[in-house]
């Protein structure tokens, strides 16, 4: 399946290896708050160290404005890597030039050196060949294992491959293989659950899933744009006005698909609303299509209009229980699920307990995916926010595959070529 050479296809013993990782991790007050990307790169590091290589690792962190922007230093990563590897990790305060060269030269077999943020040099993002050449001069072999960044054609993902034999690491291989597999030959039924803030980021993904999935369910603020397109008054809810034609177009395509074959495109039927996005704001459920809960609760009276209408001061902050159950039902029938994007504003902390006031829809989806209702499908999870939420909840190891890539996994799923993968050597 994976057509590029990997570290297992070449002889590395005694060589100096330059490994491109994606250690773009969240750092607060000099401490890493989520080390999933580091954890996931360990099998590659262990394998390389077993080959007695001299291991030089490079990465970017954040989007620094230049060398003076020390808030984006990779130094905290060196410290954490040392703990994870249980061995010393040297740190060079620059990725090229005298200091990097000296540190590289002093390296012995089995030793690890982490270079400072590649993006402290603007040449990195410009895919500058001169900069790439200087980086390449530090090593004998280049290994690409930064799956999260291979959708960028930068010096350390593209230009560098012109100067060194270049192969894939084990994380890159696993990511590309798993994601390509669920898109190209999933065990059906295939259910796609797509959330997050913006349709704009996921247009291609939605189109592709309408073509290949059995169910596509949308949630998150993105769903609000679909609701507006369907004529629902979402009041103060966040939605993308400019993407309304896109939403209409997607709905049209989904309806056409549903006439051709058994296919469901689900937008929310109910939502959790509040006056503001705050942990202290009272919440209520608005059910704009079925009204079941309100009918039961107000019997023998008729439910008030507000039970099915979002009031002018309110905004949708999560999917409601009916919509969550609908998705959970789809999950019961699925053999493969691709999940990208949370169903609501999961970042808002709770006044008590681990689950925030607008995270219940996401929690319901997680319960379904983890087999709480009987059946556990193979699930591929992608997207930075979604993975971050799972990491916070301690659930990152409970799914079939949790991708380390945000943009990269979206582009791969949408069927686009990844420049950082294309540039590597083909298997014979």
Q: Which residues of this chain interact with ligand 3PG, rule CB under 6 A? A: 22, 24, 63, 148-149, 152, 406-407
CA distance 60 to 57: 11
Catalytic, out of 384, 388, 406, 420: 384
Phi, psi of 286 (to 5 degrees): -115, 125
Q: Edge-to-edge strands of the sheet including 112-115? A: 89-92, 112-115, 54-58, 16-20, 141-144, 166-168
Total chain residues near Mg ion (CB under 5 A): 1
* CA 23 – CA 60 distance, rounded (Å): 7
Going by the DSSP 8-state scheme, the letter that residue 6 receives in this structure is B
Q: Which of residues 268-287 bind Mg ion (CB under 5 A)?
A: none
Burial 92-106, CB ≥16 within 10 A → b, else e: bbbbbeeebeebbee
Q: Which of 110, 129, 329, 407 binds Mg ion (CB under 5 A)?
A: 407
User: Among the options 62, 329, 407, 415, which is catalytic?
Assistant: 407
Tell me the H-state helices in 230-320.
244-260, 292-298
The closest residue (CB) to ligand 3PG is 24
Residue with the shortest CB distance to Mg ion: 407
- Smaller CB distance to Mg ion: residue 152 or 360? 152
Find which of ligand 3PG, Mg ion, none residue 320 binds, CB within 5 to 8 Å per kind: none
Residue 186 interacts with which of ligand 3PG, Mg ion, none, CB < 5 to 8 Å by class: none
Nearer to ligand 3PG by Cβ, of 149 and 266: the residue is 149
> Which residue(s) pair with 382 in the sheet?
340
CA dihedral 86, 87, 88, 93 (to 10 degrees): -70
In angstroms, what is the minimal distance from the CB of 60 to ligand 3PG?
Answer: 7
Residue 58 CB, shortest distance to ligand 3PG, in Å, is 13
> Greatest CA span in the chain, whole angstroms?
82
Check if 198 is active-site.
yes
Which of the ranges 92-100, 113-121, 399-407, 415-423 carries the binding residues for Mg ion, by CB under 5 A? Answer: 399-407
Put the strands of the sheet holding 270-274 in their side by side order.
284-287, 270-274, 315-319
Question: Which residue in the list 37, 174, 202, 376 is annotated as catalytic?
Answer: 37
Q: Cα separation of 309 and 36, whole Å?
A: 41
What is the closest distance, in whole angstroms, from the C-beta atom of residue 312 to Mg ion in the complex?
35
Q: Clarify whether 188 is annotated catalytic.
A: no
The nearer residue to Mg ion, 151 or 269, going by C-beta atoms, is 151
Q: Could you tell which of Mg ion, ligand 3PG, none binds residue 63, using a CB distance below 5 to 8 A set by kind?
A: ligand 3PG
- Report residue 427: phi and psi, to 5°: -70, 150
Angle at CA of residue 209, ends 267 and 213, nearest 5°: 90
Strands 190-194 and 264-266 come out as unpaired
- We find the least distance from the C-beta atom of residue 63 to ligand 3PG, in angstroms, to be 5
Chosen from ligand 3PG, Mg ion, none, partner binding at 22 (C-beta under 5 to 8 Å by type): ligand 3PG
Q: Nearest-CA neighbor of 157 among 191, 187, 131?
A: 131
E strands along 197-335, which residues? Answer: 215-218, 264-266, 270-274, 284-287, 315-319
Determine whether 407 is an active site residue: yes
- Residue among 44 and 51 whose Cβ is closer to ligand 3PG: 44
- For the bound state, the minimum distance from the C-beta of residue 386 to ligand 3PG, rounded and expressed in Å, comes to 13
Query: Which of ligand 3PG, Mg ion, none has residue 420 at its interface (CB below 5 to 8 Å by kind)?
Result: none
Helix/strand/coil for 317? strand
Smallest distance, Å, CB 407 to ligand 3PG? 5
- 346 binds, options ligand 3PG, Mg ion, none, Cβ within 5 to 8 A by partner type: none
Residues with a known catalytic role: 37, 198, 384, 407
User: Which stretches of the chain bind Mg ion, using CB under 5 A?
Assistant: 407
């Amino acid at each position: 399946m994976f057509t590029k050479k990997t570290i297992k296809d070449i002889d590395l013993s005694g060589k100096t290896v330059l490994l491109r990782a994606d250690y773009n991790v969240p750092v607060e007050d000099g401490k890493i708050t989520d080390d999933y990307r580091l954890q996931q790169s360990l099998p590659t590091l262990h394998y390389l160290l077993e080959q007695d290589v001299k291991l030089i690792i490079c990465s970017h962190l954040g989007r620094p404005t230049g060398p003076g922007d020390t808030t984006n230093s990779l130094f905290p990563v060196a410290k954490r890597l040392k703990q994870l590897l249980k061995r010393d990790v040297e740190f060079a305060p620059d990725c090229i030039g005298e200091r990097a060269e000296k540190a590289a030269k002093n390296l012995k077999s089995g030793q690890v050196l982490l270079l400072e943020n590649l993006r402290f040099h603007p040449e990195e993002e410009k895919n500058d060949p001169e900069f790439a050449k200087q980086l390449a001069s530090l090593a004998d072999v280049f290994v690409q294992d930064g799956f999260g960044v291979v959708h960028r054609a930068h010096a350390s993902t593209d230009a560098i491959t012109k100067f060194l034999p270049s192969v894939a690491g084990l994380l890159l291989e696993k990511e590309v293989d798993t994601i390509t597999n669920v898109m190209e030959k999933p065990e059906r039924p295939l259910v796609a659950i797509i959330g997050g803030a913006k349709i704009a980021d996921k247009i291609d993904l939605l189109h592709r899933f309408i073509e290949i999935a059995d169910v596509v369910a949308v949630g998150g603020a993105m769903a609000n744009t679909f609701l507006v397109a369907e004529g629902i008054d979402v009041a103060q809810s966040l939605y993308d006005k400019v993407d309304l034609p896109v939403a209409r177009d997607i709905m049209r395509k989904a309806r056409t698909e549903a006439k051709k074959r058994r296919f469901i495109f689900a937008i929310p039927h109910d939502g959790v609303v509040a006056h503001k996005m705050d942990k202290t704001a009272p919440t209520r459920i608005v059910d704009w299509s079925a009204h079941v809960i309100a009918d039961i609760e107000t019997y023998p009276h008729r439910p008030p209009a507000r039970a099915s209408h979002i009031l002018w001061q309110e905004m949708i902050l999560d999917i409601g229980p009916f919509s969550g159950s609908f998705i959970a039902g789809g999950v019961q029938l699925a053999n493969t699920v691709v999940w990208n994007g949370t169903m609501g504003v999961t970042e808002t902390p709770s006044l008590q307990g681990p689950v925030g006031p607008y995270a219940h829809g996401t929690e319901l989806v997680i319960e379904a995916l983890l087999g709480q209702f009987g059946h556990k499908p193979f699930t591929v999870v992608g997207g930075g926010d979604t993975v971050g939420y799972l990491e916070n909840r301690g659930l990152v190891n409970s799914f079939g595959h949790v991708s380390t890539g945000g943009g990269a996994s979206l582009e791969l799923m949408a069927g686009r070529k990844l420049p950082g993968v294309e540039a590597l050597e083909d298997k014979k």
